Structure 1
Amino acid sequence: MPEWMYILLLTLMAGLAMPLGGLLATLDSFRPNWLNEELRHSVTAFGGGALLSAVAFVLVPEGIEPFDPWLSAGLFLLGGIMFMMIDIQLDKHHTSAGQLAAMLSDFIPESIALGASIALGKGSSVLLALLIAMQNVPEGFNAFRELKASSRYRSSTILTVLAVLALAGPAAGLLAYYWLASFSELVSGIMLLAAGGILYAVFQDIAPQVRLEKHWGPPLGAVIGFVLGLMGFMLTHKSIHI
């Protein structure tokens, strides 16, 4: 299979996890009370665990390779500041599409990293695609519920929007493959920026929504999400014995 088609399939699979998450959110219409508060918090926590595993096992380890510690730390911090500025602007405009913007702000840099990793012959592309898909399911779930609650869009319209946004992944991945792969340090910088931004998003948007009084399932969801990332990391690095 040509590499460009491989990138297309991986990024499309990861992107289509967004409308899949939205589709799961529609189950509330058919089975009232099924999406109870604890389950919603658990889904959110799972997404947080998956995001942290992407940061810990892919974005930071590969991002720091060409840089010294000071530059690595600076890029990581800059990523957090950039995401903070995006967060501030979304709050000022009170847009109902805040969750969509947050979702794309990590999906696009990760898709760029995926395309570049294949072009550079690195072995983390499948792992990264799985992690992106894992986080996109709960993000699509939350984006659907946010848009449904704050707008008059029909469910089918929201799902169509999520499906169209999924195409941003293949576009970013192919762009990286054909152009950015020639600039390996730039790709590493993008990885660190994305990692810092994702960490900011986890503690700004995800972690505060997770905790519930006298419920212990949501924090466990974060652990499960991270563990799945750990398993993917170990299974794709054959030098590590489970």
Structure 2
Amino acid sequence: MSELSVVILLSLGAGAAMPIGALLAKLDLQQPAWLGDEWRHFVVAFGGGALLSAIALVLVPEGAHALHVFPAILAFAAGGLFFCWLDIFLAKKKSSAGQMVAMLSDFIPEAIALGAAFATGQSTGVLLAILIALQNAPEGFNSYEELASNTKLPGNTILAAFTGMALLGPIAGMAGYFWLAQAPQALAALMLFASGGILYLVFDDIAPEAKLKNRWMPALGAVAGFLLGLIGHMLVA
């Protein structure tokens, strides 16, 4: 099997975790007693912790390594400001896609980094794909429940959309493999831009949704999600 085929399969598999998480969320909405309210908030917080780990352990370190201070500041700040504007725009449109946007803003740059890792001969590609998949599953769960609870879209339509979004993985992976591996500063700027946006969305959208009065499991979910990222980061390192 060629190296490019491996990139395509790994990035597609990592993306497939999104519809898998969404399918589990669909089952949860059909059988609310399956998880219960506290564990449902645990999953939301777990996704938030996984996103924070992506920022702290993958996106920011890799991005800051390849850029000088001023371009790094610009890229990170631009990401936060852009996603703030996007959040205002979605609110005006009465859209409930905040967690889905956070999921994609995490998935796409990491899939690009996966492709770039193979192109530059690094041995981290397989573990990075596993880490992305483990992040995408709870994020897909949270995004589906947000959309299904706040829109009139049929569940199968949302699932089909998530399945289509999984195809963005191979596209991003090939972009990293063919182009951005040769432009490390552009890749670094993209990672920092995504980091600023994800950080905004975590504290604006995901963290408030995870809060549950007089319950402690949601906060532990955030710890577990970050721990997952830490384990993946240490294995990659």
Write the mapping of 1:202-221 to structure 2, written as runs, cut at 5 A: 202-221=202-221
Instruction: Work out whether residues 48 and 206 of structure 1, in 8 Å CA contact, stay in contact via their aligned partners in 2.
Output: yes
- Equivalenced residue count is 237
Give RMSD over aligned pairs: 1.9
In structure 2, the residue corresponding to 1:32 is in which secondary structure? Answer: coil
Compare 167-176 and 89-98 and name the one that shifted more. 89-98
Compare 67-76 and 174-183 and name the one that shifted more. 67-76
Residue of structure 2 in register with 1:236 after alignment: 236
Provide the C-alpha distance between the structure 2 equivalents of 1:73 and 1:179, rounded to a whole number of angstroms.
24
Instruction: Work out whether residues 47 and 142 of structure 2, in 8 Å CA contact, stay in contact via their aligned partners in 1.
Output: no
Residue of structure 2 in register with 1:88 after alignment: 88
Residue of structure 2 in register with 1:240 after alignment: none
Residue of structure 2 in register with 1:112 after alignment: 112
Compare 126-135 and 226-235 and name the one that shifted more. 126-135
Distance apart, 1:124 and its partner CA: 3.7
Provide the C-alpha distance between the structure 2 equivalents of 1:3 and 1:169, rounded to a whole number of angstroms.
16
Residue of structure 1 in register with 2:126 after alignment: 126
Provide the C-alpha distance between the structure 2 equivalents of 1:233 and 1:103, rounded to a whole number of angstroms.
19
Distance apart, 1:97 and its partner CA: 4.3
Over residues 173-219 of structure 1, what are the superposed CA-to-partner deviations in whole Å (9 max), with x where a residue is unaligned? 11221122221111111111111111111111111112211100011
Distance apart, 1:226 and its partner CA: 1.0
Residue of structure 2 in register with 1:140 after alignment: 140
Residue of structure 2 in register with 1:178 after alignment: 178
Q: What runs of 5+ residues in structure 2 fail to find an aligned partner?
A: none
Instruction: Work out whether residues 75 and 189 of structure 1, in 8 Å CA contact, stay in contact via their aligned partners in 2.
Output: yes
Residue of structure 1 in register with 2:17 after alignment: 17
**Percent of residue pairs bearing the same amino acid type:** 53
Normalised by the length of structure 2, the TM-score is: 0.91
Instruction: Work out whether residues 110 and 194 of structure 1, in 8 Å CA contact, stay in contact via their aligned partners in 2.
Output: no
Provide the C-alpha distance between the structure 2 equivalents of 1:99 and 1:229, rounded to a whole number of angstroms.
18
Provide the C-alpha distance between the structure 2 equivalents of 1:156 and 1:66, rounded to a whole number of angstroms.
42
Residue of structure 1 in register with 2:4 after alignment: 4
In structure 2, the residue corresponding to 1:64 is in which secondary structure? Answer: helix
Over residues 121-171 of structure 1, what are the superposed CA-to-partner deviations in whole Å (9 max), with x where a residue is unaligned? 334433432332222212211222233223443333321221111101111
Compare 102-111 and 84-93 and name the one that shifted more. 102-111
Compare 131-140 and 205-214 and name the one that shifted more. 131-140
Compare 107-116 and 81-90 and name the one that shifted more. 107-116
Provide the C-alpha distance between the structure 2 equivalents of 1:32 and 1:200, rounded to a whole number of angstroms.
30
Provide the C-alpha distance between the structure 1 equivalents of 2:98 and 2:235, rounded to a whole number of angstroms.
35
Instruction: Work out whether residues 96 and 150 of structure 2, in 8 Å CA contact, stay in contact via their aligned partners in 1.
Output: yes
Instruction: Work out whether residues 17 and 133 of structure 2, in 8 Å CA contact, stay in contact via their aligned partners in 1.
Output: yes
In structure 2, the residue corresponding to 1:65 is in which secondary structure? Answer: helix
Provide the C-alpha distance between the structure 2 equivalents of 1:128 and 1:76, rounded to a whole number of angstroms.
22
Over residues 52-77 of structure 1, what are the superposed CA-to-partner deviations in whole Å (9 max), with x where a residue is unaligned? 11111111111112222233222212
Distance apart, 1:29 and its partner CA: 5.1
Q: What runs of 5+ residues in structure 1 fail to find an aligned partner?
A: 238-242
Provide the C-alpha distance between the structure 2 equivalents of 1:101 and 1:198, rounded to a whole number of angstroms.
9
Residue of structure 2 in register with 1:194 after alignment: 194
Compare 124-133 and 214-223 and name the one that shifted more. 124-133
